[in-house]
A = this chain, B = another copy of it.
């Protein structure tokens, strides 16, 4: 292994000079810098990460905690993770992958040992067990998701409440009066996952305001579960003319079942989804949908972290950033049967 000292000897300068060339923290004359750079290249020098972390007490690593459960939005999770890693690299940082398994103690471990300088948490519950560790100053953190009480926390998420409202607005605008919501799996609600409840809140609020009927049913992604839920919905509210789906695995089963029971989309029923663009575009009927901007979420989370890490710890060190939802109209939504679009 090549060390700084060897580079220094090779370039005929002191070790500290090489260090300053690398860090740019003190001015170095042009000829010297050139010489050092050449030696570095020639010897293939790579600074030792541990030594660097020890001396500078900065590891240049951030930890990313992903949920271990795989019952929800898996592709979204991976996309966020990849975006986090990519964005971190542009700042010269690497990403340590933590699973939820170890629980809150994992945070203490990587943070207390100086392994990671900061943390990004995904899949935050409304009342997450990891939150107490994060309030206040101790370790810099950004949550992807929104807990019940975000005071003193740094959060980024899609504005799911607004997303829900947007769906209702779109459908009500088309003339629908009865909407059914096919939600995430029951476990998602049992865990009080923020995004699910917030979407529901937004849907309800806006439906109430516009005088539209709303029926919500959690739903597993399996074909059978969707069939059961659909049957019950149509039984309870025969007047339902539109569905909002917030469960990507339920999308195709739902469309298939509607087709099979002779309901054309969008002529007989409209379907609006909250899901990644890729899912909406490739569905058997291209879906009118509110996109889940996975990449953007990952990127924003990292940017906020670095703002906090490098910035002057300004007044906006903490705070919530909700991305505005965007609804894209595709083929799956239209005015309800027998009615013209009323505008």
> Which of A's residues lie within 8 Å of B, judged by CB?
1, 44, 46-54, 57, 59, 61, 64, 66, 68, 70, 74-75, 77-79, 81-82, 85-86, 89, 94-99, 101-102, 108-110, 112-115, 220-223, 249, 252-253, 255-256, 259-260, 278, 281-285
Residues of B within 8 A of A278 (CB): 70
Most buried by B among A1, A49, A220, A252: A49
Residues of B within 8 A of A110 (CB): 94
In the assembled complex, the Cα of A53 lies from the Cα of B82 at a distance in Å of 26
Task: Please classify the interface of chain A as helix (H, G, I), strand (E, B), loop, or mixed, using the class held by over half of its residues.
Answer: helix
Residues of B within 8 A of A49 (CB): 50, 53, 59, 113-115
Which of B53, B61, B86 is within 8 Å of A99, CB to CB?
B86
Which of B222, B255, B281 is within 8 Å of A281, CB to CB?
B222
Residues of B within 8 A of A59 (CB): 49-50
Contact of B114 with A101 in the complex, beta carbons under 8 Å = no
Contact of B282 with A223 in the complex, beta carbons under 8 Å = yes
In the assembled complex, the Cα of A53 lies from the Cα of B60 at a distance in Å of 14
**Cβ of A61 to closest chain B Cβ, rounded Å:** 8
**Cβ of A81 to closest chain B Cβ, rounded Å:** 7
Most buried by B among A46, A94, A108, A281: A94
Contact of A46 with B112 in the complex, beta carbons under 8 Å = yes
Contact of A222 with B282 in the complex, beta carbons under 8 Å = yes
In the assembled complex, the Cα of A66 lies from the Cα of B86 at a distance in Å of 12
Supplied contacts A74-B78, A255-B256, 17 more A-B pairs, CB within 8 Å: A46-B112, A48-B54, A49-B59, A49-B114, A50-B50, A50-B57, A50-B114, A50-B115, A54-B54, A82-B99, A85-B97, A85-B99, A86-B101, A94-B110, A252-B256, A256-B284, A259-B260
Closest chain B residue to A249, Cβ basis: B282
Contact of A102 with B75 in the complex, beta carbons under 8 Å = no
The 4 tightest CB contacts between A and B, nearest first, are: A50-B53, A222-B282, A223-B284, A46-B112
Residues of B within 8 A of A78 (CB): 66, 70, 74, 77-78, 81
Closest chain B residue to A294, Cβ basis: B70
